[in-house]
Structure 1
Amino acid sequence: MMSTKKSRILNFFNTRLGFFFLVVILFCVKTYIIYQTKFTLGAKGGMQQFLLVVNPIPAALLTLGIALYFSGRLSYWLMMLIDFLESIWIFANIVYYREFSDFLSMGIIKGSGKVQNNLGKSLMEIIHFTDFFVFLDILILILLLVFKVIRIDAKPFKKRYALLISGLSLILMVGEYGLANSDRSGLLTRTFDNNYIVKYLGLNEYAAFNAYQTHKESATRSHAKASDMDSILKYLKNNRAAANPEYFGKEKGKNVFIIHLESFQQFLINYKVDGKEVTPHLNAFYKNKHTLSFDNFYHQVAQGKTSDAEMMLENSLYGLPQGSAMVTYGGQNTFQAAPAILDQRGYTTAAFHGDVPSFWNRDSTYKSWGYQYFFSSQYYKTKPSYNVGYGMKDKIFFRDAANYIQQLPQPFYAKLITLTNHYPYLLDKQNTDFPATKTGDKTVDPYVQTAHYLDQAFAEFLNYLKKTGLYKNSVIVLYGDHYGISNNHRPAIAQLLHKKSINSYDLAQFQKVPFMIHAAGLKGGIRQTYGGEIDVLPTLLHLLGIKDNNTIQFGTDLLSKQHDQRVAFRDGDFVTPKYTKVGSTVYLTRSGKEITPNATQKKQIANIQNHVTTELSLSDRVIYGDLLRFYTPKGFQKVNRKDFTYQYAKGMDNLKKAQEEHPTSIEAKNNGKSTMDLYKTDAPELK
């Protein structure tokens, strides 16, 4: 009896249709296992669990069913090929998700050539041996065919059956979407989180939807018109925050340093390992009486990470829900960024970065933003020992950047992007003098060591500023661009926070990053004001005495009494002094208590959600439609990208001419002599 059943099953699999269903079954089973083991999709309740089980089926029937329209051996090998291509897509998402807690988008794929530099070491750290499980079903199927356990069915397969399977797959997709939409209303119109789309509809449907969005974005720009600005101007008029007279213009005419603390999270401030402060110099700077520090300041980045942070910091525009705005739109859109605003008020503007100029499309985007100079890796002497991970070690970078800073005509606006505290947190032994944490997570534990190294590098740079007089005549802004430890490291995060376990509220609060503004004579202090990276530009402009009454900026001055404390995250979640919303769950921000909102609370939360969704949508509209080409604020001139070049020879020639025309640099004030003898570093590579 048992033998007869086995024979029947084997005979079924020896048919074309039987083999097709075997491929589909194996593919769907492996996809479900990967959903559960490689992603954190947060499926709750019977409906979501059911959809997670069945969502691979419709797409598998549709894509693998293509092979049924072909005959003989070709049909079988096409099934293998399609399965293999699908598996590569899943594999790529596993690897990407592990680091970024998100899925690959067409924007990221399109811009991969811009950001792939130095990814080799990172990929080797990210990929796990178990990830190759995704290809196991293909190996099994090939072996079954090669050893003729299953024989190829050469008989013709009726096309009407192939059409029937294709039709069935489409019907199932429609049904699946109906169920998903009943559980999550407006799934494809309101959500800002790719996890929801994958959880409800599947990876293939997510890819198709994302491709559609990308196409729509391209079409949006071509159809945009000047009147599209009307709703944005109306919104901003109703949401501007008046400057605080106590601070407005207090730092007018001073140099500005923006120091980008790579992957640096707020919890590192005052954090200790084995009784030692991880960042003693940053701690002191944070608590300085002339430093305005914000302890409820959040990063608001999405897939663009560092590039999203830069977009918000210098434009007060949000990054995109998928991909990087700098990569996709940086070279083609019109912007009204901080470098251009300050350039038109007599500032020299320069960016410093110890990696190749093409990374995140900076060499193109910075021209659109109006940077006069971009001192990238081609401006620095380099040796293999000078670099680690994504570029120059911070101590060497700060030292070499100082050589160009001393030549900048004052006042200047200078942004310095550090790199060493970047995943996978690599540092050679000669630079490692701080104990790692002991969470047992190899990704997390060295994080404090590279943060400590960054702290030392910052201290050396600060000492140079003090010796040259720049410290007294500059506004020094420090900020963390995004998280360093992703939400996929929950057990380790719990240990770092000295908790037994953590929930979504803890992870939301874990997204805090430092933000500090220091200037001699500035009335400082640690502020509890809630805000994020979107708020930096209006805050800085007001300190410098520049009104932003007509600008297109979605943030508000952190020092204003009218500052908007509703902090929007890119996925539509938010934090306010009262509520923290993560997905469909709401917490009281002060206590972290999860609540079931009453009628009054529901109304308050709905109003906040409407504000957040509107603001993100309007910011997206500005970027997608390139709407700033239709609107120029009073007193601002549109940037001409052709005015700028970052090639070394031309850049140095331009810098020399600028010094001759405006001899206000530190070097000029030192009778044309270099001040680099004042820069002291203990970098072992330079000894």
Structure 2
Amino acid sequence: MRFIHVKNRRMFDGLFNLLANNIDVILFFSIVYVKLISYEKSISSGYMDKSVIFPIAASILILISFSFLFKEKNRTSFLYIVDIVLSAILVADLMYYRYFKDITTVAAIRNAKLLQGVSSSVGSVASAKDLYYFLDLFILLPLGRIYKKRRKNSKPLPKRILSFLIIFALGIGINAGVFYRVSKEQPTLLTAMSNRIYLTNMIGNIDFHLVDSYNYINNAVKNSKDLPEERVKDIKAFLQKNNSSTEESNFKGIGEGKNLIVIQVEALQGFVINQKVNGQEITPNLNKWVNKCMYFDNYYYQVAGGNTSDAELMSNNSLYPAQSGAAYYTYSGNKYDSLAAALKDKNYYTAALHGNSEGFWNRNVMYKAQSFDDFFGEHSFNVDEKIGLGLSDKSFLNQSLEKMKNFKQPYYSFLVTLTSHFPYEAVDKYGDFNVGEYEGTFIGKYLKAIHYTDAQLGKFLDNLEKDGIMQNSIIALYGDHFAIPKDNAQQLFKFENESSSDDYTWFKYQKVPLLLHFPNDEYAGVNHRYTCQMDLYPTLANMYNLPKNYMFGKDMLNGNSQKVIFRNGSFIDGQNLYVSWSNTYYDLKSGTKVNETEKLKKEKDEYTKELQYSDDLQNHNLISEFSQKK
């Protein structure tokens, strides 16, 4: 009996010593696990794959395994430093998600210098709740010092290596099983990463960043080599089929010899059109012009990490945004078969105009790459009124009009506005637009900002008409991207009296207006067809009788395509909406969920392949190769 008691006592002492000697490891695992789960809930939008607990635990075990290579005192310091780094990454990821609705990638970090000037935007998505991720660091610092002082013994190196190998193997083994499951359920997800939020919800934050880093390095190595000839042939065949003329010839050549004026409006989201607040029209000027234009009310933005620059890329080239980061930076050395280049071949003068610094989003390089004759940036204007990031829309549009009057005709003018830029705080002192109960709220600030920009656009369009410029011009005006980020979705839903807040409801509002104006207000009316930014260039190409060679979009006024593919893998096919991050289908009319069919699965696979084709085309500068072989 005494022997059993002694044996139990030794077992208890052994277990106690094991726990006491590894309290730093246990605390690290527990704290980091809670942080990672909290992060997953923040980006899950109501959907979180519960099996993510396994890769999260596995990734923490892998990090812990390396700590066993250190002596115990240094091990505690190592874990503390890793905790700091992970906390900083999680907070940065949350801020990035709130602004871009996406997950931070290596390519996005490389492009961080392009975000100069939007520190107020980044700051505005920071939250006091984010301090939660750092609270433990202040508590653990003094405890860690006490713990290290009391530690006297240190395991010999062979035992530490054995501990490292066992824990590392356990973590790798769990992850291998998870990755195998993901690769079976979504065959291209780990490599194409077309749906980063969904992927993160399946494998966790740490594993996502490891996969992203691996893919970034792997792609850099692969892209330094030539694509297999079969792959190049597949891409060429796809483009030839996609750009073949439709049987119809609506609006064919209607714009030949006419000026083209394209206006990309900062953060002009569709829900403000013909909408009121506190009894006042939010966009009274655009509402007037909607009735004088061909108005597309189901026109979707498709931007990714490049935001405004992505909208420019798609509208002028009909190429998808970069898989990660900004194409305006990553592919600035490529050859482009752009709208400006095609019009230059028809003796058009081409100019881009924007009231921000020339280097912002690498525009000074990219406009040259797209064959614009001139770029009128901040230094080409008299900066007599600055609001927010740069020259006010009022001054920019007035000065742009004076410049355009002196352009050699026919010309293509591409104008990008600025004042209604997130976070919409810069125009409070300009105008007295009363937003009623929304005063001081995020959406209230946006309504004021876009009301200001609407007034300037109204004056600009009225002056184009008054000066007779419209008589010989076709005008396209559209919004570049969302105005209300996902973390403020509830304010938008409340404003729109939406009782539901599911993904289908969210997508209903991810539209931007597209207005096409023809001389004498011809062809005015509403077009309900599902279209997107990728479709603008093919449509204009038909109007101006331009060649179509390397476009991924379709003509909005010919054919019957209603395809809208988003960079994250979501898509619309005219009847259904696929939400990639929850792997869910919705009926577009009713909003009810539908089961995946063979037809829908085939569409999903085809659209994923289309995104990969666009990536390959840009990664390997294939337009240059194709054009040389003509």
Work out whether the TM-score is over 0.5. Answer: yes
- Contact map agreement 1:436 1:447 (CA 8 A) in 2: no
CA distance in 2, matches of 1:371, 1:88: 41
The within-5 A match list for 1:102-121 is 102-115=102-115, 117-121=116-120
Residue 160 of structure 1: how far off its partner (Å)? 1.6
Residue 349 of structure 1: how far off its partner (Å)? 1.0
Q: CA, structure 1 residues 198+431, in 2 after alignment: closer, same or farther (shift >3 Å)?
A: same
Q: CA, structure 1 residues 5+440, in 2 after alignment: closer, same or farther (shift >3 Å)?
A: farther
Query: 1:238 — aligned with what?
Result: 241
Structure 1, gaps ≥5 residues long: 636-687
- The superposition leaves residues 461-514 of structure 1 with CA deviations (integer Å, 9 ceiling, x where unpaired) of 123222332122211110111111122223212112211222211112211111
Give 2:190's match in structure 1, choosing from 184, 188, 191: 188
Give the match's secondary structure for 1:156. Answer: coil
Give 2:550's match in structure 1, choosing from 546, 552, 557: 552
CA distance in 2, matches of 1:405, 1:130: 49
Letter in structure 2 aligned against 1:408: F
Report the number of matched residues: 613
- The superposition leaves residues 66-85 of structure 1 with CA deviations (integer Å, 9 ceiling, x where unpaired) of 23212253332122112211
- The superposition leaves residues 200-241 of structure 1 with CA deviations (integer Å, 9 ceiling, x where unpaired) of 111121112212222233234322359444212322333334
Residue 153 of structure 1: how far off its partner (Å)? 4.8
Q: CA, structure 1 residues 21+366, in 2 after alignment: closer, same or farther (shift >3 Å)?
A: same
Letter in structure 2 aligned against 1:325: A
Query: 1:680 — aligned with what?
Result: none
Q: Does 1:579 align with 2:576?
A: yes
CA distance in 2, matches of 1:237, 1:337: 17
Q: Does 1:589 align with 2:588?
A: yes
Q: CA, structure 1 residues 419+131, in 2 after alignment: closer, same or farther (shift >3 Å)?
A: same
Query: 1:252 — aligned with what?
Result: 256
Query: 2:402 — aligned with what?
Result: 403
Letter in structure 2 aligned against 1:339: A
Give 2:625's match in structure 1, choosing from 622, 630, 643: 630
Letter in structure 1 aligned against 2:563: R
- The superposition leaves residues 20-56 of structure 1 with CA deviations (integer Å, 9 ceiling, x where unpaired) of 22212211122212322x3225435xxx2132x3332
Letter in structure 2 aligned against 1:300: Q
Residue 261 of structure 1: how far off its partner (Å)? 1.2
CA distance in 1, matches of 2:45, 2:203: 12
The within-5 A match list for 1:173-572 is 173-181=175-183, 184=186, 186-189=188-191, 192-225=194-227, 227=229, 228-239=231-242, 240-242=244-246, 244-288=248-292, 291-330=293-332, 332-382=333-383, 386-436=385-435, 438=437, 442-521=441-520, 522-548=522-548, 551-560=549-558, 562-572=559-569
Give 2:25's match in structure 1, choosing from 17, 20, 26: 20
Residue 632 of structure 1: how far off its partner (Å)? 1.4
Letter in structure 1 aligned against 2:176: V
CA distance in 2, matches of 1:433, 1:510: 27
- The superposition leaves residues 263-299 of structure 1 with CA deviations (integer Å, 9 ceiling, x where unpaired) of 11111110110121111111111111xx221111111
Residue 150 of structure 1: how far off its partner (Å)? 8.0
- Contact map agreement 1:258 1:478 (CA 8 A) in 2: yes
- The superposition leaves residues 94-115 of structure 1 with CA deviations (integer Å, 9 ceiling, x where unpaired) of 1111111111111110011122
Q: TM-score, normalised by structure 1?
A: 0.84
Q: Which moved more, 1:602-611 or 1:127-136?
A: 602-611
Residue 610 of structure 1: how far off its partner (Å)? 3.3
Residue 403 of structure 1: how far off its partner (Å)? 3.3
Letter in structure 2 aligned against 1:106: V
- The superposition leaves residues 148-205 of structure 1 with CA deviations (integer Å, 9 ceiling, x where unpaired) of 5983455235322122222222122213323445665554146521112211111121
Residue 523 of structure 1: how far off its partner (Å)? 2.3
Give the match's secondary structure for 1:257. Answer: strand
- Contact map agreement 1:145 1:152 (CA 8 A) in 2: no
Query: 1:29 — aligned with what?
Result: 34
Q: Which moved more, 1:311-320 or 1:420-429?
A: 420-429
Q: CA, structure 1 residues 108+190, in 2 after alignment: closer, same or farther (shift >3 Å)?
A: closer
Q: Does 1:84 align with 2:84?
A: yes
Q: CA, structure 1 residues 153+112, in 2 after alignment: closer, same or farther (shift >3 Å)?
A: farther
Query: 2:50 — aligned with what?
Result: 49
CA distance in 2, matches of 1:35, 1:194: 12
Letter in structure 2 aligned against 1:96: Y
Residue 624 of structure 1: how far off its partner (Å)? 1.4
- The superposition leaves residues 325-378 of structure 1 with CA deviations (integer Å, 9 ceiling, x where unpaired) of 111112x11111111111121111111111111211111111111111111112
Give the match's secondary structure for 1:318. Answer: coil
Q: CA, structure 1 residues 421+382, in 2 after alignment: closer, same or farther (shift >3 Å)?
A: same
Query: 2:5 — aligned with what?
Result: none
CA distance in 1, matches of 2:228, 2:389: 41
Q: CA, structure 1 residues 5+348, in 2 after alignment: closer, same or farther (shift >3 Å)?
A: farther
Give the match's secondary structure for 1:70. Answer: coil
- The superposition leaves residues 395-427 of structure 1 with CA deviations (integer Å, 9 ceiling, x where unpaired) of 121122223223321111111111111210123
Give the match's secondary structure for 1:232. Answer: helix
Residue 252 of structure 1: how far off its partner (Å)? 0.9
- Contact map agreement 1:64 1:83 (CA 8 A) in 2: no
Give the match's secondary structure for 2:604. Answer: helix
Matched residues, percent identical?
Answer: 27
Q: TM-score, normalised by structure 2?
A: 0.91
CA distance in 2, matches of 1:198, 1:151: 40
- Contact map agreement 2:301 2:512 (CA 8 A) in 1: yes
Letter in structure 1 aligned against 2:339: A
CA distance in 2, matches of 1:10, 1:422: 59
Give the match's secondary structure for 1:472. Answer: helix
CA distance in 1, matches of 2:129, 2:192: 35
Q: Which moved more, 1:66-75 or 1:120-129?
A: 66-75
- Contact map agreement 1:225 1:627 (CA 8 A) in 2: no
Q: Which moved more, 1:180-189 or 1:444-453?
A: 180-189
CA distance in 1, matches of 2:27, 2:152: 14
Give the match's secondary structure for 2:501. Answer: coil
CA distance in 2, matches of 1:589, 1:67: 51
Q: CA, structure 1 residues 50+13, in 2 after alignment: closer, same or farther (shift >3 Å)?
A: same
CA distance in 1, matches of 2:437, 2:599: 42
Query: 2:6 — aligned with what?
Result: none
CA distance in 2, matches of 1:7, 1:285: 82
Give the match's secondary structure for 1:55. Answer: helix
Give the match's secondary structure for 2:297. Answer: strand
